[in-house]
Amino acid sequence: MAFIPGQPVTAVVQRIEIQKLRQGDNLILGFSIGGGIDQDPGQNPFSEDKTDKGIYVTRITPGGPADAAGLMMGDKIMQVNGWDMTMVTHDQARRTLTKKKEDVVRLLVTRKSLEEAVKQSMSYPRQ
């Protein structure tokens, strides 16, 4: 999932809609993120390309809203509610996900298995 500066980024994405869960005064999503343009990308265990500074899902709380919506560990988040996540700092990403006024976040995520699936379906001839 490397990108070439100046070229548009293309990826096979899946749309995931997560309903935030209210716990007391907080709205939680039930997952953790890592990465960002201000972080060291070499320490990202989920990225294929170790220069990728995108936002990745590092942990999913089992049974939480993200788990129910189909988010998986290792997914790279490309967009949140229309806001781009491929070129943001870690804090910006966290803030975009945790806006108090929003009950729902619509993510566009990409993962390796999606690309594989598309490749496979294109290689096999249709019966």
Span near another protein by CB under 8 A; candidates 4-12, 101-109, 113-121: 101-109
**Residue 54 within binding range of another protein, rule CB under 8 A:** no
Cα–Cα distance for residue pair 5/2, rounded to 1 Å: 10
Q: Dihedral through CA 99, CA 93, CA 62, CA 11, nearest 10?
A: 120
Cβ proximity to another protein, 1 vs 28, nearer residue: 28
**Residue 112 within binding range of another protein, rule CB under 8 A:** no
Cα–Cα distance for residue pair 43/119, rounded to 1 Å: 28
Residue 108's closest CA among 85, 89, 90? 85
**Residue 76 within binding range of another protein, rule CB under 8 A:** no
**Residue 28 within binding range of another protein, rule CB under 8 A:** yes
Summarize as ranges the residues that interact with another protein (CB under 8 A): 15, 17, 23-26, 28-29, 31-36, 38-40, 43-45, 58-59, 79, 81-83, 89-91, 94, 97-98, 100-104, 106, 108, 127
